[in-house]
Amino acid sequence: MAQIFKLPDVGEGLTEAEIVSVKVAPGDTVSINDILFEVETAKSVVELSSPFEGTVETVHVSEGETVEVESPLVTISGGQDDAGSAESAPTADTAAAGSASTGGESQKILVGNGPSADPVKRRARKKPAKTAPAPSPAPAPVNSAPVQQSSAQLEAQQERKLLRGSLGESLGGLTEKASALLEERLRKNSSRGEVADRPVGSIPRRPTLAKPPVRKAAQDMGIDLAHVTPTGGHGQVTKRDLLNYAAHVRDADTSSEAPTAETPDSFWIPAGACGDRIERIKVRGVRKATAKAMVNSAFTAPHVSIFVDVDASRTMEFVKRLKKSRHFEGVKVTPLLILAKAVIWATARNPQVNATWTDSEILIKHFMNLGIAAATPRGLMVPNIKDAQDLSLRELALALNELTVRAREGKTQPAEMSQGTMTITNIGALGIDTGTPIINPGEVAIIAFGTIKQKPWVVDGEVIPRWVTTLGGSFDHRVVDGDLSARFMADVAAVLEEPALLLDE
């Protein structure tokens, strides 16, 4: 029997997914749990495995296509009957009926089990009524002169259109008398067949006025200055005229097709003719979901931001000691590990920063699903470490490494990015001092970790070089007011200045 595998909801309330790759083709034999597709949702790339076994009959989607949940992906035939399935494969009779009804095209007809299927089969066996054969076209006339004459007239009409457009653009239009004389000359030439034999480009026209730099730019961009409307003095084409025309052609090209009789060849410039000055990237997948979430957060939650400079010299010394410790052998240790532990420690002292606003109530969460913003080729992703408050320093380091590696490889699953409670964005990895991050939807706080570098710092009245970083925090002012956000940031800074405070856990 034939069984149809439909796109499941691979995340929480997802409505669509893009087909990244198709792993099977019609005729392939598949088993249960064989990978059939890779799909990109708004959160991650997910592999879809087969729930059936048998032979692939039809693949309903192609790579790059965006499909909605419950859309058919593949039809698999030849497997064991599913107890809950009421669909069956088409029989030879119904397949023949489908071919007859569609004029030879293959059409799939699913017939239900039971007596109700018999009338369908009987109707399918009926032969189509004979129809009278279509009259054969009349033979072409032996004398082809009238056809040649018609072709010449059509080309003359086309040339008149081109000439009117070109001269109208470059010279600002002709007088009625000049137009009449030109029409008369073209009519006489077309009657003699001269216009049809002469290329359009040979029609004489007055050179367009433009300065040498503008001419050079037009040549590099592949633009004929005769098509550009001049706005300069004495009818000169300026640089601005050229750029405006190039932008107009590029925008028109994205929404237009190949030239038609109403759109002559000389006015249609293919994509890329004006240079690769603008790259268009389709908004989809992670980027589309991120944009929607950030706009919603920025214009829904009233953000308030706080910044603090921190002497992180002792954190840098602590990281060096951890790297040499046998307990951390083979484990990647960075200052981000200490910051993550500091955020967990400060949250325990200020629980209200780990909450969600719901209009009717504030949900304070006594667990920490710590999100780490990770830059990936597919865009910014924020997987989180579940129950981070229960992890030791070494366990937290291992979780951070695994989380970032999986995110950069594009293997993060939707469940790993859901139910986050607070986020850290490590902009210091790119050499940035600080920033104003946007809160993730459903959370009320996010911390930006700036780069750590040596700066002059006053210690006991003396200016000495110290390892200094800047922390930036954004908070939802509906939940976290100024006093609470300041105390939270001060606690995080205190741990970076003195990691020994972590012994107080």
**Residue 390 and residue 345 in contact, taking contact as beta carbons nearer than 8 Å:** no
**Which residues are paired to 68 by β-bridges?**
16
Report the alpha-carbon distance of residue 485 to residue 422 in Å, rounded. Answer: 13
Report the alpha-carbon distance of residue 488 to residue 351 in Å, rounded. Answer: 9
Computed from CA positions of residues 366, 368, 369, 371, in that sequence, does the dihedral angle turn out positive or negative?
positive
Instruction: Find the catalytic residue in 234, 248, 327, 477.
Output: 477
Report the alpha-carbon distance of residue 432 to residue 436 in Å, rounded. Answer: 12
Q: Residue by residue, what is the 3-state secondary structure of 145-194?
A: HHHHHHHHHHHHHHHHHHHHHHHHHHHCCCCHHHHHHHHHHHHHHHHHCH
Computed from CA positions of residues 68, 69, 72, 75, in that sequence, does the dihedral angle turn out positive or negative?
positive
Output DSSP code: residue 307.
Answer: E
Output DSSP code: residue 27.
Answer: T
| Residue 225 CA: distances (Å) to CA of 205, 236, 376 | 12, 10, 44
User: Is 477 one of the catalytic residues?
Assistant: yes
Question: Between vectors from CA 314 to CA 342 and to CA 371, what angle results, nearest 5°?
Answer: 25
Report strand pairing: 303-311 vs 462-476. antiparallel
Contacts 24+ apart (CB under 8 A), 62-65: 62/19, 62/22, 63/19, 63/20, 63/21, 63/22, 64/18, 64/19, 65/18, 65/19
Question: Between vectors from CA 147 to CA 141 and to CA 150, what angle results, nearest 5°?
Answer: 150
The CA-based diameter of the chain, rounded to the nearest angstrom, is 109
Catalytic residues: 477
